[in-house]
Each structure stands twice: as C-alpha cells, then as structure tokens.
C-alpha cells in the first residue's frame, strides 16, 4: 500500500486504480474495537470484524482483500447498488409517456443498475474528522445505463459506538427517474464461509411478500406469508423451509409499519457464535436472498470456496419492478424532490 493517511477515527490506504481514478480502502473503528472496511470502488463494505461469544474475532461479511475481486462480474459482495436495486422486467419501463430501455443483464431482465451499476464506479469519498464515518458522492449522468436525468447521489456510512453500521442514502435529479438504492452485503455470522447460513435463525416483520415468476419478477400480488415457507414472523432456522422454495429464497418482503419511519424489521442470529444482527430501516421492503447462486467458483482471500448458502443478504429496498407495477410504492424521483432513506445494521453478541 503506497499511501496511508491517518485520520481521527478513519484511516485510508491506497487500494489501486479504476477508470483512471484512485481507489482507497477506508477503515472505520469504534471505541469497542469493532472494525469496518469500505472502499470507494462501488462503495463496497469489504469486511466487518467483530468478536463472537468466546471473544474470537471474525469477519461477518463475504468479501475480498484485493480490488480485483470486486472488478470481476457479480455477485455484488458488499456493494452499493443503483440506480435501481433488484430487477426491472424485460429491461424497460415507461415514464411520462416515453419508453426507456435498459441493459438486460439478468436473463431477459435488468438487475442492480445494469452492466456498470453503482457497484462498478469510483465514488468521491470524504472521511469524517470527528466520527467514524465516510461520505461517498457520485454523479450518475443523464443516459447512464439508459436511465434519464443527472442523478446526484450521497451515501454516508457511520460506524457508531453502539456497534451499528448506519447507511444514509440521499439523491436529487434534474429529470424524473426511478431510484432504488441499497447495500448488497452478504452476511455469515459464523465468520467462516466453511459454514453455511442454513442454521442461522431469522425473523422478518412482514405479514406479506411479493410472489415472483420463474425469472424472479414479482407477479404484482401481495400474498400473506402465513402457512407458507415465507413466514418469518417468528424466528426460525433458514434451513427449516428452504427446501420448499424452488431455487431458495430470493424474495421481497412487504415490511410492516409505516414506510418512511425507522423501525426494526429483521433479526438474524447464529447460536454457535452468539452473534446477532438487527436490521432497522425506513424502506417498505426487504429482499431476503439466501445465496442461491454462489457456486464455489469464487474464493475468499484465504482460499476458501464460497459455496451455495454460505452468505445471505438482507437488502432494504423498494419493491422489484416498481416502475412497471403502478400499485407498488413509487420509486420515481422528480426534480425538486429529495430521495432519502436510512438503514441501520446493528450487531451484538448474545452469550
């Protein structure tokens, strides 16, 4: 690492170059010694180190030690996702009477912003000097990946002394455009990808979910979770019903409570390590993805294969394909409006 700049609670190290711009790795540390590393390439959370119940430290997110791991094709480890997190059917939508065509990078559908979404660009980064926080800025120009409008995006990561990673998303545009920003961290609370996540317990505060077709596009129905494998109203092991879900979980849950208000929406726990993750958000939806497409071809930096179900995502969001589903909560941001959402991932050790 050629460059190292020490700031009060955030340190920076040279991490390479992409698109002719410098890429850095920022290390956020809180008073408890918890450490989160984030790069301005794709806004990726590359690691999150915390102790288990025996005080052994481990990394609870999947990721790599080098930039090249993130420059390869998806699975979007730890990345900021935009302009539109999740899928848009057939890579197109109509807005104000005009049809917009997007990349079809997920079979016939558009996924996570296209061929070069926000996960593959270099963000401008500003570390805080008085807190363990990092602010990222990016201008997505009119027509980028087929989307209308110049979209100014700001995302702030803060590691608090309460062992929370807070993510605040803000955006403004000069033309109406769909916006749905999220973070795509894969969690494995055991801290070891040799273990799968089927023995993690999960609860999701949602009475309904959005069923999907065979290409994972919502049908438009909001279906009750009761009596289905999607009922996580009471905590249960992920492995309990996953065999009843063709392909595994990759579904949007309709969160209870008032969209726009911060509320607890999910709790993930691992009894072996004692680690627990609680999710709070202002968003109306949560995509629970059980790592179905991880196939062992990727390896961690220490050489361990990243196999199916060795990480899971809890992506706070608006619903998939909302631009083509008028009954879903709108994702259209108009000039003069301000996009603002917040999500907090809080961790703890339960002994």
Question: Would you write out the chain's pLDDT as a tens digit for each of its 351 residues?
Answer: 334 444 468 999 999 999 999 999 999 999 999 999 999 999 999 999 999 999 999 999 999 999 999 998 889 999 999 999 999 999 999 999 999 999 999 999 999 999 999 999 999 999 999 999 999 999 999 999 999 999 999 999 999 999 999 999 999 999 999 999 999 999 999 999 999 999 999 999 999 999 999 999 999 999 999 999 999 999 999 999 999 999 999 999 999 999 999 999 999 999 999 999 999 999 999 999 999 999 999 998 888 999 999 999 999 999 999 999 999 999 999 999 999 999 999 999 998
Query: CATH number of the domain at 4-349, please?
Result: 2.70.98.10
The predicted structure's pLDDT at residue 319: 98
The number of beta carbons lying within 10 Å of the beta carbon of residue 297 is 8
- Our answer to whether residue 315 is catalytic in this structure is yes
Q: Verify cis geometry, omega within 30 degrees of 0, for the bond prior to 333.
A: no
Query: Distance between the two ends of the chain, CA-based, in angstroms?
Result: 38
Alpha-carbon distance of 47 to 195, in angstroms, equals 17
Rounded to 5°, the CA angle 280-282-285 comes to: 90
Q: Cα–Cα distance between 336 and 111 in angstroms, integer?
A: 27
Q: Where are the beta strands (DSSP E) in 200-335?
A: 201-204, 206-210, 223-224, 236-237, 250-255, 263-269, 275-281, 285-289, 313-317, 332-333
Number of CB atoms found within 10 A of residue 209's CB: 25
Distance of alpha carbon 186 from alpha carbon 184, whole angstroms: 6
Among the listed residues 144, 164, 172, 315, the single catalytic one is: 315
Q: What is the pLDDT of residue 8?
A: 60
Q: What's residue 2's pLDDT? A: 38
Catalytic residue among 144, 164, 172, 184: 184
CB-CB neighbours of 6 under 10 Å: 10
d(CA 141, CA 70): 23
> 50-79 b/e with 16+ CB inside 10 Å = b?
bbbeeeeebbbbbbbeebebbeeebbbbbb
CA distance 46 to 43: 9
Q: What are phi and psi of 91, to 5 degrees?
A: 60, 35
β-strands 236-237, 201-204: how paired?
Answer: antiparallel
Residue 300: the pLDDT is 87
184 is known as an active-site residue: yes
Supply the pLDDT for residue 6: 40
Supply the DSSP string of 220-257, one letter for each residue: S--EE-TTSTT--SS-EEGGGTGGGSTT--EEEEEESS
């Amino acid at each position: 690492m050629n460059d190292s700049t020490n700031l009060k609670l955030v340190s920076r190290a040279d991490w390479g170059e992409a698109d002719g711009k410098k890429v850095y790795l920022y290390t956020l540390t809180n008073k408890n010694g918890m450490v989160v590393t984030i790069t301005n390439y794709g806004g990726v959370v590359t690691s999150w180190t915390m102790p288990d119940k025996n005080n052994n430290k481990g990394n609870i997110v999947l990721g790599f030690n080098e930039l090249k791991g993130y420059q390869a094709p998806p699975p979007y480890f730890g990345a900021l996702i935009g302009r539109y997190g999740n899928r848009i059917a057939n890579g197109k939508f109509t807005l104000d009477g005009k049809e917009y065509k997007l990349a079809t990078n997920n079979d016939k559908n558009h996924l996570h912003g296209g061929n070069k979404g926000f996960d593959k660009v270099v963000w401008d980064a500003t570390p805080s000097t008085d807190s363990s926080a990092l602010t990222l800025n990016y201008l997505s120009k009119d027509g980028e990946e087929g989307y209308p409008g110049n979209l100014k995006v700001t995302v702030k990561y803060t590691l608090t002394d309460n062992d929370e990673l807070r993510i605040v998303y803000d955006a403004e545009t000069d033309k109406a455009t769909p916006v749905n920003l999220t973070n795509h961290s894969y969690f494995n609370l055991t801290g070891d990808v040799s273990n799968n996540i089927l023995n993690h317990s999960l609860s999701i505060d949602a009475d309904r979910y959005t069923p999907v077709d065979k290409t994972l596009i919502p049908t438009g129905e909001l279906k009750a979770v009761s009596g289905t494998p999607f009922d996580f109203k009471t905590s249960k092991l992920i492995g309990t019903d996953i065999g009843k879900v063709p392909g595994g979980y990759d579904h949007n849950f309709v969160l209870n409570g008032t969209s726009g208000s911060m509320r607890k929406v999910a709790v993930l726990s691992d009894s072996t390590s004692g680690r627990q993750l609680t999710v709070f958000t202002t968003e109306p939806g949560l995509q629970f993805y059980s790592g179905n497409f991880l196939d062992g071809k990727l390896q961690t930096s220490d050489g361990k294969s990243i196999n199916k179900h060795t990480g899971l995502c809890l992506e706070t969001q608006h619903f998939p394909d909302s631009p083509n589903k008028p009954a879903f909560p709108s994702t259209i941001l108009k000039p003069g409006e301000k996009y603002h959402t917040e999500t907090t991932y809080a961790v703890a050790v339960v002994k």
